[in-house]
Amino acid sequence: MQEFLELLPRFAVAALLTLELSLAGAALGLAGGFLLHLFRLGGGRVFALGCGVYVWLLRGTPFLSQLFIVYFGLPVLGLRLSAPEATVVSLAFYSAAYFSEIFRAGWAAIPRGQIEAAHAFGMTSRARFCHIELPQALAFALPLLANQLILVIKESAVASIITVPELTMTTSNIIASTYSYVMPYALLIAGYWLLTQSVAWLAQQAARRIPFLRTPS
């Protein structure tokens, strides 16, 4: 109990950092993923191909290697990022690939007939996009987006390797100095669990508030 109380503040700070890194990375990744999706929808063949290659590369390589390229590789080009900055940037590039695929799935789930109805009634492509496609696609995508955010939170543990003092790094430091394993690891697991479950719970609450997702009873 004594150990728990001593460690708790350090874990709270570390968990907060994990959350900050993940949220910042995922927010940028979400925006990037949406842009990728838009390019693929209407940007012509060259853009679509470029986006396809991007997704192909980012999904096909480990996050750790992407982080190394950003943290150790970019300084060669004259761009030196701090470890937390490199983490956010890497998480953003990495998750953008997945987010764009999620948006693609959300769009693919819209029944063709609804788009036809919008056409038949003379809606402009912009009205169609904003009022018919977007609200539905986002609602379909919501659980997948939350899922991806959870994956980003867990992937952020890799930042410990470049010495970002987030949850995993903090745990390693404590273990190295105290030789106590059980309590630090228990707190580590509890920390990630709390963060990820909060995201899952929030997404569930949000989904419940979308009236048209409630299926008739």
Shortest separation between residue 160's beta carbon and other proteins, angstroms:
42
Report how far residue 171's alpha carbon sits from residue 18's, in angstroms, rounded to the nearest whole number.
12
8-state DSSP, 110? S
Is the CB of residue 152 less than 8 Å from the CB of residue 168? no
Neighbours of 62 (CB within 10 A): 11
Shortest separation between residue 114's beta carbon and other proteins, angstroms:
6
Shortest separation between residue 215's beta carbon and other proteins, angstroms:
7
Tell the residue number behind the tokens 């959870």, with chain if given. Answer: 150
Considering the complex, state which of residue 24 and residue 134 has its C-beta at the smaller distance from other proteins.
134
* Chain residues that interact with other proteins, rule: CB under 8 A: 111, 113-114, 116-125, 127, 131-132, 135-136, 139, 210-212, 215-216
Considering the complex, state which of residue 118 and residue 149 has its C-beta at the smaller distance from other proteins.
118
Considering the complex, state which of residue 45 and residue 112 has its C-beta at the smaller distance from other proteins.
112
Shortest separation between residue 34's beta carbon and other proteins, angstroms:
19
Q: What is the dihedral of CA 17, 20, 21, 26, to 10 degrees?
A: 160
Tell the residue number behind the tokens 């209407």, with chain if given. Answer: 42
Considering the complex, state which of residue 127 and residue 189 has its C-beta at the smaller distance from other proteins.
127
Considering the complex, state which of residue 138 and residue 151 has its C-beta at the smaller distance from other proteins.
138
Shortest separation between residue 117's beta carbon and other proteins, angstroms:
4
Report how far residue 10's alpha carbon sits from residue 112's, in angstroms, rounded to the nearest whole number.
52
Report how far residue 167's alpha carbon sits from residue 148's, in angstroms, rounded to the nearest whole number.
19
